């Protein structure tokens, strides 16, 4: 969003705010899902949009809009959990190291590539995950990976939140957070690589 | 010499600029000689940049629903 549009948005331009909703709504629901569960994520995000609309005049541009919106959603999700006296959805999911790394089987016993990555025929990041077939597989994958991995992926890579902030929000150690993020990215890499190689996923 | 598996495990921290100088050098030595790992790191970088775009845009109906919720919240305050 350019500077003039941002100023208009901060003055309460509803059309521009609608575009903001269009661009970020699904990403914010995806962010709230591993925290409160799919059934409550929409309600959390609806309430977060009301708060964002009221607070947009105070947006200082110190972070990206997606990051700013994500913080509002996370606060709203945590309020929802507190009001229902619930824990984080994945609080009892155990140690990050217990889960499987999707790329493990690609290496020989000596740690060399047994099945190396294929050459992806996409150069632009925004085009990489946009094919409708891949999008369906991606949705399925995100629903299948452990909630703590998904939370890391959504918070760090999709929302751009700083690593330290995520560790605080989720009350996890930096080393656990790194493992979770690596596992989530490995699962996504495996999916995209298979799709690029075979056209299926 | 690092193995390819170790390079893949460290690649996230390499891209985040979090590796020690010594570990970064070891990794770069390996990558100079291993085109599979070079490709992995290049494509991991592309993937990470693509993740913010992985969620589709909302439909007109969904946008209208959110805007109606915002307007009803506004009205209930007056």
Percent of chain A with pLDDT over 70: 94
Prediction pTM value = 0.90
The tokens describing A142, both together, are 């995100």
Q: Between B76 and A92, name the one with better pLDDT.
A: B76
3 state DSSP class of A55: helix
pLDDT at A123: 85
With cut-offs at 50, 70 and 90, classify the pLDDT of residue A99.
low
Q: Does A59 touch chain B (CB under 8 A)?
A: no
pLDDT at A201: 83
User: CA dihedral defined by B58, A148, A131, A44, rounded to 10 degrees?
Assistant: 0
Q: Point out the least confidently predicted range of A184-188, B45-49, B74-78.
A: B74-78
Phi and psi torsions of A107, nearest 5°: -115, 150
pLDDT of A43 over the 70 cut? yes
The pLDDT of B28-53, averaged and rounded, is 96
On chain A, the residues whose CB falls within 8 A of the CB of B40 are 116-117, 189
Phi and psi torsions of A113, nearest 5°: -60, 125
The pLDDT of A40-55, averaged and rounded, is 96
B60: closest CA of chain A, how far (Å): 8
pLDDT at A92: 46
On chain A, the residues whose CB falls within 8 A of the CB of B37 are 113
List A107's β-bridge partners, or say none: A113
Cα angle: A98, vertex B10, A196; to 5 degrees: 85
A121: closest CA of chain B, how far (Å): 10
Ramachandran quadrant class, A39 (left: phi over 0; alpha: psi -120 to 50; beta: rest) = alpha
The pLDDT of B34-45, averaged and rounded, is 97
Are A41 and A29 in contact by the 8 Å Cβ rule? The answer is yes
ipTM: 0.90
């Amino acid at each position: 969003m350019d500077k003039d549009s941002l100023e208009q948005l901060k003055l309460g331009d509803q059309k521009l705010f609608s575009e903001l909703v269009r661009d970020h709504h699904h990403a914010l629901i995806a962010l709230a899902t591993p925290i409160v569960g799919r059934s409550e994520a929409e309600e959390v995000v609806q309430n977060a949009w009301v708060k964002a609309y009221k607070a947009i005049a105070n947006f200082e541009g110190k972070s990206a809009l997606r990051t700013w919106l994500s913080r509002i959603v996370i606060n709203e999700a945590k309020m929802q959990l507190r009001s229902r006296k619930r824990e984080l959805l994945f609080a009892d999911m155990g140690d990050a190291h217990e889960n499987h790394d999707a790329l493990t089987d690609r290496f020989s016993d000596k740690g060399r590539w047994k099945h190396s990555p294929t050459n992806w025929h996409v150069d632009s990041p925004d085009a990489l995950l946009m094919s409708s077939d891949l999008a369906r597989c991606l949705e399925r994958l995100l629903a299948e990976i452990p909630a703590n991995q998904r939370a890391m992926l959504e918070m760090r890579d999709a929302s751009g939140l700083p690593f330290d902030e995520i560790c605080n929000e989720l009350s996890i150690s930096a080393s656990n957070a790194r493992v979770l993020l690596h596992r989530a990215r490995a699962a996504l890499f495996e999916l995209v690589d298979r799709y690029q190689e075979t056209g299926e996923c | 010499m690092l193995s390819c598996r170790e390079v893949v495990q460290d690649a996230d921290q390499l891209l985040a600029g979090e590796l020690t100088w010594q570990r970064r050098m070891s990794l770069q030595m390996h990558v100079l000689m291993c085109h599979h790992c070079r490709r992995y790191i290049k494509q991991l970088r592309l993937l990470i940049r693509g993740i913010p775009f992985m969620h589709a845009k909302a439909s007109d109906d969904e946008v209208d629903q959110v805007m109606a919720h915002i307007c009803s919240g506004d009205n209930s305050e007056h």
